[in-house]
Structure 1
Amino acid sequence: MGNQQSKIFVNNMMESAIRIGLLFMLVLWTFDIIRPFVIPVLWGAIIAVALMPLTQKLEKAFKGRRGLAATAMAIIGIALLVIPFVLVSGSIFDGVSHAIEVLQSGEVNIPGPTQKVADIPVIGDKLYEIWALFSTNLEKAVQHFLPEIKTAVGTIASVIGSSLATLMMFIISLAIAAGFMSNAEKISGAISTVAVRVVGKNGEQWTTLTAATIRSVLLGVVGVAFIQSMLIGSAMFVFNVPAAGLITLGVLILGIAQLPALIVVLPAIFYVFSTQDTTSAIIFTVWVLLAGVSDSFLKPMLMGRGVDVPMPVILIGAIGGMLAAGIIGLFLGAVILAIWYELFMAWLKADKAPEAEQSLAIEGEPKLEAVVNQAK
């Protein structure tokens, strides 16, 4: 009898292992098939959630034609991406082409630094020495800083090479977002059903919280970084600062990573003061400094109420996303990590709600609903 039971147990175990193995292989193969589409579809869904309120307002202007409103939003988004990309890429391309032409002609003439450069606190003397070396003996300077130059050129080439692919990914994601927004009610209902099935009675509330977090982070972090980069970038182009396109891109990346834009703005200020007249330099300085601190009043306006994601969470998500998926991961990582943080905090607070309810029931307090809502 014992041997028979043991044989049945082994057979059942082997049958279960085979089923689980086949299921695992099916999931793995399925993921390999859909992996190229995961990031654009996920990013498209996030964009759709963030832009849905604007699409609904636009839908009223189009007399209830949701598909036309969603398409218009996608076209506007693509235009807002393509126009700055063309300007920034054109600036980078012109700068590289001009540098190559100058190097090929052998007529390299770098103006020497002024005394203003040496008067800069802390770094003035070293900066003056390096600048003077490049202006008087370019060959020696290049040989001395050759490893650093190679690293910088390689980094720039990598960024430029991935920019076009990132732009195409954004365009595809916006097209997917338009499709999601056109069928928002059906998709929202399906997601709510799945969420309730997976996490229980709080699934619908968590879905609403996820949507609020997406809108808050995408507008309050990515949106603010985009506006700030455009303000600072316009100053760079107006005052003909070299590498204006790269500086604009750097400001955008720093803004999403929640790092101060002054990291790249201060060197530009020093350059303008060294090469242009005092009036122009002062105007430029005021312009970029105001743009650099604009996030302090833009974030409260766009971040929304009720969603308070710590900046370290955004920073880790942005940097980790960029390392994992390139420039688009910079945007995607910040949003996804913020969603997980908010859901985790909601899960922690959900455990406290029954305790508060039980405590008030014992004490006979009439404000049960208010306290439970506050706990949530």
Structure 2
Amino acid sequence: MENPMQHTQSKLFVNNMMESAIRIGLLFMLLVWTFDIIKPFVIPVLWGAIIAVALMPMTQKLERALKGRRGLAATILALAGIILLIAPFWIVSSSIFDGVSHIVAVMQAGDIKIPGPTQRVADIPLIGDKLFDAWALFATNLEKAVLHFLPQIKTGVSAAAGMLGSSLGTLVMFIISLAIAGGFMAHAEKSSAAVSTVAVRVVGKNGEEWTSLTAATIRSVLLGVVGVAFIQSLLIGSALFTFSIPAAGIFTFIVFILGIAQLPPLLVVLPIIFYVFSTQDSTPATIFTVWVLIAGVSDSFLKPMLMGRGVDVPMPVILIGAIGGMIAAGIIGLFLGAVILAIWYELFTTWLNMEEAQLASAKEADGAEDKHVTAPEQSGKDA
């Protein structure tokens, strides 16, 4: 039969267990509700931190030029970033709107004249014959062509509308992120101290070092991915505008997005090359082809030059992290993936060198002990 002491202990254990379960459940509910509240702000705050880290060296230079006015320097950079975001979007949107308005006006007037394809289009390998037939159908009988390709046209229009809506949402999100980045840059020391304190509290003595590694990796990815994409789009865009390619601004913007997404710009360039060869003479078409092909493969030597600068992590590790992170989490994964793999690389190298570090520490301890032992002996001899 159970004695009163055991019964009391069992009852106390059950009470403690129930109380702990209730506390853990309430804490879990609080965490879930908190996450639901801050969820809309997580991505803008992450982007704000990434932009602030990337622009901090420029902020410090501008601060010195403005005689120590950090807040003004951060505000100027944030406003400049917002203008740089809005201006291309406005230009591209205006170009699309003007193009659509022109097409609607021409269709209403009934003066639609599409030039027919040349034999060069038919000579294109693999797709030449189909492209020639489709182009000829649009040139000779537009109404029949529209009815024939109506499902594809509807799909394309829906995709374009969805892309435009998504781009507008992304633009608003980045404007908010730039405003947050301005706040981070204006209070950089306090923000950095808070992050370092949390990092040291979470991971120990290496936290501050990993915080510096995170900042350097973000700058490296920004320079090696976004910087290379910008250079490529600038080179290809200059060729498009030089040779008066229709919708050159839109194609340049698409090349920039493909470069950030780590996709080859040749996906856009190759169809344009076919178009140039079918509409222009051989000499300018050849010059255009060489120009855009060199620009399209320029990332193969630009990335090794720009990515990994200032970081003691091999460039392939950062590149794999950036590409894998983007596949897993979108554009922001470019930075998060690179940071995570860089930290894992540091952990791995630390683990590999742990035994050597322990041996070195042991030797230093033995040397200090020998000095401590020989010191009294030497003093005795002197006496």
Q: Structure 2 length as normaliser, TM-score?
A: 0.85
Local SS of the residue matching 1:252:
helix
Structure 2 gap segments, 5+ residues each: 365-383
Distance 2:271 2:304 in 1: 28
Local SS of the residue matching 2:353:
helix
**Greater Cα shift, 178-187 or 60-69:** 60-69
Residues 73 and 298 from structure 1, CA distance in 2 versus in 1: closer, same or farther, beyond 3 angstroms? farther
**Residues 1-376 of structure 1: pairs in structure 2 closer than 5 A:** 1-303=5-307, 304-305=309-310, 306-307=312-313, 308=315, 309-322=317-330, 330=331, 332-358=332-358
Q: Deviations over 1:167-210 (max 9, x none)?
A: 22212211211111111111111111110100111111111111
Q: Deviations over 1:306-352 (max 9, x none)?
A: 34235443233224334xxxxxxx2x121111111111222222222
Contact 1:113 1:128 in 2 (8 A): yes
Letter of the 1:149 partner, please give it. Answer: I
**Greater Cα shift, 81-90 or 215-224:** 81-90
Distance 1:302 1:357 in 2: 32
Aligned length: 356
Q: Structure 1 length as normaliser, TM-score?
A: 0.87
Percent identity, aligned pairs only?
Answer: 68
Local SS of the residue matching 2:125:
coil
Residues 278 and 214 from structure 1, CA distance in 2 versus in 1: closer, same or farther, beyond 3 angstroms? same
Distance 1:238 1:206 in 2: 46
Distance 1:310 1:71 in 2: 31
Contact 1:118 1:128 in 2 (8 A): yes
**Greater Cα shift, 33-42 or 281-290:** 281-290
Shift of 1:259: 1.4
Distance 1:107 1:311 in 2: 52
Letter of the 2:178 partner, please give it. Answer: L
Contact 1:40 1:173 in 2 (8 A): yes
**Greater Cα shift, 5-14 or 224-233:** 224-233
Distance 2:197 2:231 in 1: 37
Contact 1:256 1:318 in 2 (8 A): no
Name the larger-Rg structure. Answer: 2
**Greater Cα shift, 161-170 or 214-223:** 161-170
Give the corresponding residue for 1:372. none
Local SS of the residue matching 1:112:
coil
Distance 1:214 1:128 in 2: 47
Distance 2:66 2:305 in 1: 28
Shift of 1:223: 2.4
Distance 2:242 2:89 in 1: 17
Shift of 1:363: 9.3
Distance 1:77 1:179 in 2: 14
Give the corresponding residue for 1:371. none
Local SS of the residue matching 1:110:
coil
Q: Deviations over 1:125-176 (max 9, x none)?
A: 2322222222223333333332222221111111111222222221221121
Distance 2:220 2:318 in 1: 12
Structure 1 gap segments, 5+ residues each: 323-329, 365-376
Distance 1:15 1:192 in 2: 35
Distance 1:67 1:47 in 2: 16
Provide the alpha-carbon RMSD of the alignment: 2.3
Q: Deviations over 1:84-135 (max 9, x none)?
A: 2222222222222222223333333221111111222332223222222222
Give the corresponding residue for 1:326. none
